[in-house]
């Protein structure tokens, strides 16, 4: 098993130019040792004796440790640095290159990827530069819990200013907060959740190692940061509830348990109305909630579809429109002022649509990704739907597909294998010709890609009946007969 379950971009300029290396003090080290469990004093004493014996053996060695003798060759001098070796013409140790890679340039993006490999989980922090074309792992963070979803946020949990943080939702129902600028950190800054832990040491620990004791009863499936009310993060869970977390007070601000009947797989804040939260569930419904009076059913608006909802997102160019993708490969555009008539329906993929990206800067630019291992590009400007391009990735089922916030034609993709994939879709001539005039930046001519056969696009008329399971199935049967 080698899975990327989720990815999150960090916009340019948000990361520190020189990341901070975590150096725990004595109190923090003792606290982390206590958390790892009790130790057997007899075993520790035995290990200490073994170490002492090894030291004595080393002292008895008469050979100079600075020289290694190989039969037939003679003594070889050992130098701490290549610069000290008089026989080497090239003195480069690679230290300058490593130091340069450690720094973050102003035009660099960071990508945080949730990586699950066998029994080990981690967060991998990549550095990506679209101009220079490099991508490498800057540092990683070992996870005790299995990460399922990520959201990046810039609210500094210490003083409320801007920062560089990521929230991680886990299989165990925990939400952990990490500082992306902190290298070699050993535990989260803060943890929201109910999971019980081992008995703590009598020594007091710092606030950054604390835990809320309230939250979800099952896996956290999605997270969404409210960009308008920056201290608020929403989480959805397999326990069919949504929780709002206040980062300024480090506690749960609201718990919504009456909006869905099954696991909630996707949530998204409204781009201009900070009180409105959209959620999609395995109960085949999408719900729009006013969080000022969330548990009141009169504050909820609901749409029913014929398959489990995988992803939901808002159309920033039309704040009354949202898109929802389903398990059976369809994408729907809905107007929130009409609970019965979809703007369009799209047979996008042959399997669950797990990636749904609608550009906030390029009108009509829609990207979908699926368990069928493909990523497709569509033009949905003015309510119409046109297929533009497609690319297949050898990642197995695609779990996540997220657009670069600084360059919307670049996508980070993660699946069941092959690690992190980056796709700059301006490599495709159809994409350049279709969206180049709408983009607010220069699109560079590159080697052309080939597009696959055009998928089926179906549109509902404006007089369409209610969006119910029976109606949708009838529409699909009708379109299949025409084929």
> CATH no. for residue 245?
2.130.10.10
| pLDDT given at position 466 | 33
Average pLDDT over residues 263-269: 98
The secondary structure of residue 211, as a DSSP letter, is: B
433 has a pLDDT exceeding 60: yes
Residue 333 domain-assigned (yes or no): yes
Gap between the Cα atoms of 286 and 304, Å rounded: 7
478 has a pLDDT exceeding 60: no
| pLDDT given at position 39 | 46
Average pLDDT over residues 123-149: 95
Q: Which residue has the tokens 């008995």?
A: 199
Over residues 46-105, the pLDDT tens digits come to: 555 554 555 454 555 545 555 555 555 556 556 666 666 776 666 565 556 677 889 999
Query: b vs e for 75-96, b when ≥16 Cβ sit within 10 Å of the residue's Cβ?
Result: eeeeeeeeeeeeeeeeeeeeee
| pLDDT given at position 340 | 79
Whether pTM exceeds 0.75: yes
Residue 334 domain-assigned (yes or no): yes
Higher pLDDT, 340 or 87: 340
Residue 275 domain-assigned (yes or no): yes
Average pLDDT over residues 193-216: 52
Query: b vs e for 54-66, b when ≥16 Cβ sit within 10 Å of the residue's Cβ?
Result: eeeeeeeeeeeee
Segment among 36-50, 150-164, 180-194 with least mean pLDDT? 36-50
| Averaged confidence pLDDT in the chain | 82
How many structural domains compose the chain?
Answer: 1
Burial of 296 (0-12, 13-18, 19+ CB in 10 A): exposed
| pLDDT given at position 435 | 94
Residue 314 domain-assigned (yes or no): yes
The secondary structure of residue 19, as a DSSP letter, is: P
Torsion, Cα of 154, 159, 161, 162 (10° steps): -30
Query: For the CA atoms of the chain, what is the radius of gyration?
Result: 27
Residue 454 domain-assigned (yes or no): no
Over residues 14-27, the pLDDT tens digits come to: 999 999 998 776 67
Two tokens, residue 88: 């080497």
Residue 112 domain-assigned (yes or no): yes
258 has a pLDDT exceeding 50: yes
Which of 28-32, 109-113, 206-210, 455-459 is predicted most confidently? 109-113
CB neighbours of 303 closer than 8 A, spacing ≥ 6?
A: 285, 286, 287, 324, 334, 339, 467
Residue 109 domain-assigned (yes or no): yes
CB neighbours of 294 closer than 8 A, spacing ≥ 6?
A: 254, 256, 259, 277, 300
Higher pLDDT, 106 or 53: 106
| pLDDT given at position 387 | 97
- β-strands 182-183, 398-403 pairing: unpaired
Looking at the DSSP assignment, which residues form a beta bridge with residue 418?
Answer: none
| pLDDT given at position 460 | 32
**Structural domain boundaries, residue 155:** 2-21+100-194+213-357
Confidence of residue 296 (pLDDT cuts 50, 70, 90): confident
Residue 477 domain-assigned (yes or no): no
Are 458 and 475 in contact by the 8 Å Cβ rule? The answer is yes
CB neighbours of 25 closer than 8 A, spacing ≥ 6?
A: none
471 has a pLDDT exceeding 50: no
| pLDDT given at position 213 | 57
261 has a pLDDT exceeding 90: yes
345 has a pLDDT exceeding 80: yes
Confidence of residue 413 (pLDDT cuts 50, 70, 90): very high
What's the number of CA atoms in the CB half-sphere (13 Å) around residue 387?
A: 18
């Amino acid at each position: 098993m080698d899975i990327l379950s989720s990815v999150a971009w960090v916009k340019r300029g948000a990361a520190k130019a020189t990341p901070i290396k975590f150096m725990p003090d004595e109190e923090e080290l003792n606290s982390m040792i206590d958390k790892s469990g009790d130790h057997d004093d007899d075993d520790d004493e035995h290990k200490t004796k073994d170490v002492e014996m090894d030291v004595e053996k080393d002292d008895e060695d008469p050979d100079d440790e600075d020289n290694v003798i190989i039969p037939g060759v003679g003594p070889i001098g050992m130098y701490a640095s290549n610069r000290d070796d008089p026989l080497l013409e090239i003195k480069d140790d690679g230290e300058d290159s490593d130091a340069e890679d450690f720094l973050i340039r102003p035009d660099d993006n960071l990508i945080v990827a949730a990586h699950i490999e066998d029994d080990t989980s981690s967060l991998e922090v990549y550095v990506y530069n679209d101009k220079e074309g490099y991508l490498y792992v800057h540092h990683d963070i070992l996870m005790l819990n299995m990460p399922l979803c990520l959201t990046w946020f810039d609210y500094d949990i210490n003083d409320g200013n801007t920062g560089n943080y990521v929230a991680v939702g886990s299989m165990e129902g925990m939400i952990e907060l990490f500082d992306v600028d902190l290298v070699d950190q050993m535990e989260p800054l803060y943890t929201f959740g109910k999971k019980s832990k081992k008995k703590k040491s009598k020594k007091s620990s710092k606030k950054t190692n604390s835990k809320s004791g309230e939250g979800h009863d099952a896996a956290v499936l999605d997270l969404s940061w409210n960009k308008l009310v920056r201290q608020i993060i929403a989480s959805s869970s397999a326990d069919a509830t949504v929780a709002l977390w206040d980062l300024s007070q480090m506690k749960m601000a609201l718990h919504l348990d009456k909006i869905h009947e099954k696991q909630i797989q996707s949530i998204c804040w409204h781009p201009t109305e900070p009180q409105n939260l959209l959620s999609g569930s395995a109960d085949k419904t999408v719900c729009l909630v006013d969080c000022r009076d969330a548990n009141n059913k009169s504050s909820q608006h609901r749409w029913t579809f014929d398959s489990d909802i995988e992803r939901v997102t808002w159309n920033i160019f039309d704040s009354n429109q949202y898109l929802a993708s389903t398990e059976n490969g369809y994408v729907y555009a809905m107007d929130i002022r009409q609970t019965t008539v979809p703007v369009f329906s799209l047979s996008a993929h042959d399997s669950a649509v797990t990636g749904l990206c609608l550009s906030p800067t390029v009108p009509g630019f829609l990207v979908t990704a699926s368990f069928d291992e493909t990523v497709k590009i569509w033009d949905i400007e003015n309510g119409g739907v046109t297929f533009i391009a497609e690319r297949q990735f050898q990642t197995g089922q695609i779990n996540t597909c997220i657009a670069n916030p600084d360059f919307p034609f670049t996508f980070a993709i993660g699946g069941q294998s092959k690690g992190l994939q980056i796709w700059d879709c301006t490599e495709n001539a159809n994409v350049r010709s279709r969206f180049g005039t709408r983009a607010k930046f220069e699109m560079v001519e590159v080697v052309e890609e080939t597009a696959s056969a055009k998928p089926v696009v179906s549109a509902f008329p404006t007089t369409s009946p209610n969006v119910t399971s029976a109606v949708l199935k009838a529409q699909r049967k009708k379109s299949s007969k025409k084929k």
